[in-house]
A and B are shown apart, each in its own frame.
Chain A
């Protein structure tokens, strides 16, 4: 593991902020277990719990907390300067931070989704959800990492994307779905477990894969370029 990744991981898991990652996965598992134990039909609870909570809230919110935590918090408190004053290619710094963010948010989101998927349908559906969530984690992390470099309020902007763009506009304005990572995740999950009719894909698989790649690669390249021009404002206190 590179030193940048090591510091990033220490910073992420060493802060109290990491506790924010716990409630949503626990809630998802608890809801799935209750529904399953009560004998509720999976077609009734599957969509609201797995899609409504798991894919629309859990995955993006976890990715937001982690994605802005690996870089945004360091930009905020100025510790990023210690990493930037090293003769490291900026690409390596971004990739190390992105790697930590992807692994942390993929694991946090995929495990409860896998459990819920198994309870709702089958192991295959659980695995499909886990793989789709991991793919979503890559795209979300790249986006939120980039937001940390574009704005001083990455969490706010990220929430606007999740709640307004994906949550509100995605429901009523069909055109916005092409730019919704949530929709790519649903499409990929559905394609990996086609027999399950809990997921209701709105975009085609090619669109989902290409757009997810554009978010991931484009966001990363843009972030690398932004980090090259990282400026410190001259504070005239």
Chain B
């Protein structure tokens, strides 16, 4: 098992602090590195990939430093944000060249495997400069995957992809994560992270604002009301009963069903079925309506 660790890592450019005292440890599975533009995500990824020295702290891959240590690339693959490919090569030549530079025992087989993983086999003999943005991106992922690295870092991998390619890329990342690879991808688009991974590292202004399962992060922020959409067999009767419950801050009767604002996630989710049972009301739908990453994110920004 390979662990990528950042220990009190800071990086500054002159007087500007790009990354401020970040400590995190990444193991197998898919993790999203989330944050607005300029939060320092790319700087963190570059430090993880050995393309930037931390000003302070240590970035290690299984205790080996990432900086000035090309040996880490045996276990690490990087798909940088900048869409740079040798356009004069075909995808097959490009991926095969990567395989050869990794000194793999069977570069041809590895190339075919990687091209299959990203569904690029059909177009693999065309020059890369003739590809669409999504195809180039997948070619780059294939080149980064060809040596089957334990750790794969992707900087904004979904940029420029159409929805179908996006779905496919997400499925691919999931599959790799399920197989025990450590996958970290950055994004400033919340839905991407939400769909791909439950685990997020949220960066805001160079700091690690939150990390862990994003639903859990949301629950921890109890100072904000949690909003639930509730539908039941008798909405008005349920509203009356709910308002007496301590963990409920407000109830609104919407067009269809209720919008309930709860102060404490845990108490409310325990109280709701008890109250419904006591009143003889059948619950039809209970959905935490602001659990999207978007709201988690805006709370963190306000904090």
Interface residue? B46 (CB, 8 A): yes
B77 touches A235 (CB 8 A): no
CA distance A90 to B43 in the complex (A): 22
Within the complex, the shortest CB–CB distance from B35 to chain A, in Å, comes to: 11
Within the complex, the shortest CB–CB distance from A83 to chain B, in Å, comes to: 7
CA distance A78 to B79 in the complex (A): 12
- Which residues of A (186-215) have their CB < 8 Å from a CB of B? none
Interface residue? B58 (CB, 8 A): no
A10 touches B52 (CB 8 A): no
A7 touches B84 (CB 8 A): no
CA distance A72 to B265 in the complex (A): 56
CA distance A229 to B52 in the complex (A): 8
Residues of A within 8 A of B94 (CB): 82
Interface residue? B73 (CB, 8 A): yes
CA distance A85 to B99 in the complex (A): 12
B70 touches A234 (CB 8 A): no
CA distance A3 to B98 in the complex (A): 9
Knowing A3-B100, A4-B101 are in contact, say whether A236-B37 is a contact too (CB < 8 A): yes
A-B contacts counted at CB < 8 A amount to 87
Residues of A within 8 A of B33 (CB): none
- Binary contact track B164-208/A, C-beta < 8 Å → 1, others 0: 000000000000000000000000000000000000000000000
CA distance A90 to B68 in the complex (A): 10
Interface residue? B102 (CB, 8 A): yes
Choose among A78, A87, A235 the residue with the greatest number of B CB atoms under 10 Å from its CB.
A87
Residues of A within 8 A of B240 (CB): none
B82 touches A234 (CB 8 A): no
Residue total for B at the interface (Cβ-Cβ under 8 A): 39
CA distance A90 to B88 in the complex (A): 24
A81 touches B51 (CB 8 A): yes
A86 touches B86 (CB 8 A): no
B98 touches A86 (CB 8 A): yes
Knowing A86-B73, A234-B18, A234-B42 are in contact, say whether A228-B82 is a contact too (CB < 8 A): no
Interface residue? B300 (CB, 8 A): no
Out of B11, B18, B81, B144, name the residue touching A85 (CB < 8 Å). Answer: B144
Interface residue? B85 (CB, 8 A): yes
Interface residue? B53 (CB, 8 A): yes
A85 touches B78 (CB 8 A): yes
Residues of B within 8 A of A15 (CB): 88
Choose among B52, B53, B77 the residue with the greatest number of A CB atoms under 10 Å from its CB.
B52
A232 touches B52 (CB 8 A): yes
Knowing A82-B98, A228-B68 are in contact, say whether A14-B88 is a contact too (CB < 8 A): yes
A231 touches B53 (CB 8 A): yes
Residues of B within 8 A of A237 (CB): 37
11 further contact pairs, Cβ within 8 A, besides A81-B80, A84-B51: A3-B100, A7-B97, A78-B84, A85-B77, A86-B70, A86-B98, A87-B102, A234-B42, A234-B52, A236-B38, A236-B40
Q: Which residues of B contact A (CB under 8 A)?
A: 11, 13, 18, 37-38, 40, 42-43, 46, 49, 51-53, 68, 70-74, 76-78, 80-82, 84-86, 88-89, 94, 97-98, 100-103, 143-144
Q: Which residues of A contact B (CB under 8 A)?
A: 3-4, 6-7, 10-11, 14-15, 77-79, 81-90, 228-237
